[in-house]
Amino acid sequence: MRRHPLFFIFTAILIGKFIFTRSLLFEGFDFFQTLFVELCYLFILFGLVELIPSHKVKKMVYLFLDFVLTLLLTVILVYHNYFGYIVTIHAFSLLNQVGTIRDSVYQLFHPIYGVLYIDFIIILLLGLFNRKRAREHASKHNVRFALSVLLLGLVVSAVLVYSQKNVEIANSVTSAKKQGIITYEIFGVKNYLTNATNQFTAEELKQLPTIIEEVKETPPITEGERQYFGVAGGKNIIAIQMEAFQDFTLNLQVNGQPVTPFLNSLIKESVYFPNVYQQIGPGNTSDAEFIFNTSLYPAGMEATSETYGDRIIPSFPKLLKNKGYKSLTFHANDVTFWNRDNLYPALGFDQYFDIEFFGQKDVIGIGPSDEVLYTKAVSELQKLHDGQQKFFAHFITLSSHHPFQIPADKNTLVLPQQFDGNIVGDYLKAIHYTDQMLGKFVAQLKEAGMWDDTMLVLYGDHFGLQKSSLKEPELALLENLLGHDYHLLDQLNVPLMVTLGGDEQVSEMNETIGGQVDILPTLSNLLGLSLDNFVHFGQDLLNYPDNLFGMRYYMPSGSFFNNEIAYKPDEGFEDGEAYDTGTLQPVPNYSDYEEDYERIKEILQLSDRYLNSLPKKES
């Protein structure tokens, strides 16, 4: 230790940080497992550092590696706190997005995470590196020590990686626990690079629609046999993606006050789908936009808009363009957030409106309020309507974005005192405000004479309340409102409703199980659009009562929903968990559904290969 104090000091510091992080992330924490799966990588890194002859440079490199690994562990903890997923190292390429959602990040940073940074404070206070200058040149003994440590680290890590190279673990948390955080990150990079080159041949692409039909078991239905086919044909389309909007808030009352009074009334004149679930990946809101407009699964390990924003993507706007529609999207944030400035043209939108159009007045959270969003957009829609130009307008709301801070002067939901100062109360207020502004927007459409010519589509992008991030009193409040334990399926369940203005009004509650990939085919049926030779992974919920769809990222890869159960694997199929989608109760014997597990893995692979096969736009 006297000859190599920096090595032993920083090895102790970093292994302590890994132990601390793993104890927060994983149940059944094992000290010796941590040493085995994490220490070897520190030996490799620090063995290389020990070869540096300059003591001054060596100190700086140790500090740098300490900071980088500490930042990695912090990102993993913060992300897992809200999303329940062990994020891959690819997330560091998205750090430029943090500024936009900094309020959410601040709230998710638990004070206990500060333990990871204590060593930097100690180093600063004690002036650890202000001691007598060490020799500048490495002796043969020093080199021998460094090479021995490096060799030991390489051998152990090689054994670790080799033993796990063909092991498929669906659950990211289980994978990181068993393989080690660094090994998990290495496999994340490897899988990303491998998947990126997995494409279809031209001949395979021609057969893909038929293959999807066979795997999903959705044989074609003629137009004449379809329910509601073309009832909305020729109508303008307004689709509103409601930020962090969960289905349980509909028809929910607190002390006799409805949280969503406008939507409660709108349901009565709409086709309402109460059993639809989010399917987003790490791109979150932008992934929901992508799924809605393509009926494709998002990328599994990275934001789809970042990775595939440079492709030519078949889409809903492009289908509508063939029918004479102009497509616009309204999002009161910076269009460069999640690479939307490239995604929107790739999806075929003719025009987008972002923060430059909406301005900086009446900001709530990360952008102008929903009131500003709708009020300023109506005038643009009015121009098109008056010019008899059919349009598809896609709105992305912001005001109900985490951490759900609605100004007091805008809140009209009076909650009992126990809801003050906690995220459940804040969430309900944000949803109530969203509902109010939707009601105001529909009133504006009616006043402008646009309502009768409109098909209005409302859907949620993803959950707002993550069970693992709720404190015990908050969880108790929520479960008291629901009348049952807050279940994973409650969390992932988002609303979908379609309202037809005018004489074509259709109303029903359709309880078919569905995902966000199913929205485009369902709307296409209502509009009378043909999806022949259009590659899509969803199905028309109005005409296909049997469904099978997958989810990953917020559930382990290979998770699926069908008419009876929601299933999520752990390491594989046998050790997973299944729940009855009606009662939310565990299903102990789910062995009959293994075929669905294999089918959904194939579907996800087909979608990934299709994304990789999309041609790039010409620069």
Q: What is the pLDDT of residue 494?
A: 98
Q: What is the pLDDT of residue 134?
A: 47
Residue that is written with structure tokens 């562990």 in the block: 73
Catalytic residues: 285
Could you read off the pLDDT of 477-528 as tens digits, one per residue?
999 999 999 999 999 999 999 999 887 778 999 999 999 999 999 999 999 9
Q: Report helix, strand or coil for 239.
A: strand
Q: What is the pLDDT of residue 127?
A: 67
**Measured between alpha carbons, how far is 85 from 160 in angstroms, rounded to an integer?**
22
Closest CA to 457 of 535, 374, 383, 522: 522
By DSSP bridging, strand 514-515 and strand 271-277 are parallel
**Per-residue CA distances from 144 to 1, 110, 138, 153, 515 (Å):** 15, 42, 10, 14, 59
**Measured between alpha carbons, how far is 7 from 1 in angstroms, rounded to an integer?**
8
By DSSP bridging, strand 257-258 and strand 508-509 are unpaired
- Per the annotation, binding residues for Mn(2+) are 243, 285, 461-462
- Per the annotation, binding residues are 243, 285, 401, 461-462
Residue that is written with structure tokens 């629609």 in the block: 209
- Per the annotation, binding residues for substrate are 401
Q: What is the pLDDT of residue 91?
A: 57
Residue that is written with structure tokens 């003591």 in the block: 55
Q: What is the pLDDT of residue 218?
A: 93
**Per-residue CA distances from 363 to 163, 197, 357, 412 (Å):** 52, 42, 14, 18
* CA-based max dimension of the chain: 89
Q: Report helix, strand or coil for 271.
A: strand
**Per-residue CA distances from 331 to 291, 399, 415 (Å):** 17, 11, 30
| Domains parsed from the chain with CATH numbers | 5-196 (no CATH), 211-299+311-537 (3.40.720.10)
What's the chain's average pLDDT?
90
> 162: burial class by Cβ within 10 Å (0-12, 13-18, 19+)?
exposed
Q: What's phi and psi for 102, nearest 5 deg?
A: -60, -35
**Measured between alpha carbons, how far is 262 from 247 in angstroms, rounded to an integer?**
14
Rounded average pLDDT per 10-residue block, the chain, 619 residues: 83 93 86 87 92 88 94 87 75 52 60 91 71 51 85 89 77 86 84 77 94 94 93 97 98 96 97 98 94 96 89 97 97 91 96 96 93 97 97 97 94 94 96 98 97 97 92 95 96 98 87 98 97 95 96 92 96 93 95 96 96 89
Q: What is the pLDDT of residue 238?
A: 98
> 2: burial class by Cβ within 10 Å (0-12, 13-18, 19+)?
exposed
Q: Report helix, strand or coil for 34.
A: helix
pTM, full prediction = 0.88
Could you read off the pLDDT of 381-399 as tens digits, one per residue?
999 999 999 999 999 999 9
CB count, 10 Å around CB of 100? Answer: 18
Do residues 462 and 278 lie in contact, with contact meaning Cβ atoms separated by under 8 Å?
Answer: yes
Cβ neighbors of 180 (< 8 A, separation 6 or more) are 36, 37, 38, 41, 160
Q: What is the pLDDT of residue 267?
A: 97
Q: CA quadruple 550, 551, 557, 560: dihedral positive or negative? A: negative
Q: What is the pLDDT of residue 100?
A: 47
